[in-house]
Amino acid sequence: MLKLPKFLWLVILVLLAALGFLTNKFIIAGNTIPSKDDRTAILVTSDERIMILGEMRGFLEAIQGIVEATAEGDLETVAKLATQTGAVKPDMSPSLIGKLPIEFKTLGFATHDLFTELGKTAQGGDPVAVQKELGDLMLNCTACHAGNKFVVEGSPEAMQGN
Ligand code: HEC
C-alpha cells in the first residue's frame, strides 16, 4: 500500500466518487425522467428536440425511397440513399450527448452504421438481401421508439410527468 497522508486518501476518494458520479450522469444515465407510458423521457431543449426529430424524418424519408427503389429494381438508388443516410453526422453538442442515455447513443450510432452496411449490400445487387437487411435495420427504429421519448426541459410535461 502506498504511504500517503490520510487526507490525501480522502481527497482521492472524493475525486473518485465525483468521477463516478459524472461518468454516470454524462455518459451512462443521461438526463431522463420516467414517463407514464413506461418509456424513458429524455429531457432536452426545444432546439435539440427539433434537430433530432428532423434527423428522424430524414431516416423515414430515406426508408421510403429505399423501399420504392427496391421495388423498382433500382438498387443503385438504394445504395446511394443508404450510404448518404449512414454518413449523416447529426449536429450533437457535448451537452446534448450528455443528456442522452448510453443505450440511446449506442442504438443511434449503430443505426447509422447499418445504413452504411445496407448501402454495401445494395451494391451486391440482391433485392431480397436488401429487404431482409432493411427489416433488421428497422428493428433499431422500433426498439428505440418503444423505450424513449423526448420532453422539453422546463415544459409542463417535464414538471408534471407525461
Ligand atoms: C436511438 C433512438 C432512436 C432510433 C434508433 C430511431 N429513433 Fe426515431 N425517434 C426517437 C425518439 C426518442 C423520437 C421522439 C418520440 C417522442 O418524443 O414521442 C423519435 C421520433 C421519430 C419520428 C417522428 C418525427 C417527428 O417529426 O415527430 C420519426 C418519423 C422517426 N423517429 C423515424 C425513425 C426511423 C425511420 C428510424 C430508423 C431508421 C428511427 N426513427 C430510429 C428515437 C429513435
8 inside domain: no
Total of domains in the chain? 1
Question: Which whole number is the average pLDDT over 84-95?
Answer: 91
113 inside domain: yes
Q: What is the pLDDT of residue 162?
A: 67
Residue 145: band (very low, low, confident or very high) from pLDDT cuts 50, 70, 90: very high
Cα separation values, 130 from 35, 61, 137, 144, Å: 36, 17, 10, 22
From the CA of 150, how far away is ligand 1's center (Å)? Answer: 10
14 inside domain: no
For residue 97, the domain's CATH number is: 1.20.120.10
Query: Is 30 or 150 the better-scoring residue by pLDDT?
Result: 150
> Which residue from 42, 56, 111 has its CB within 8 A of the most atoms of ligand 1, so it is best to mutate?
56
Question: Which whole number is the average pLDDT over 123-139?
Answer: 98
Q: Please provide the average confidence, as pLDDT, over all residues in the chain.
A: 93
Q: Which domain holds residue 128?
A: 19-157
Question: Which whole number is the average pLDDT over 136-158?
Answer: 96
Q: What does pTM read for this prediction?
A: 0.88
6 inside domain: no
> Which residue from 35, 141, 153, 155 has its CB within 8 A of the most atoms of ligand 1, so it is best to mutate?
141
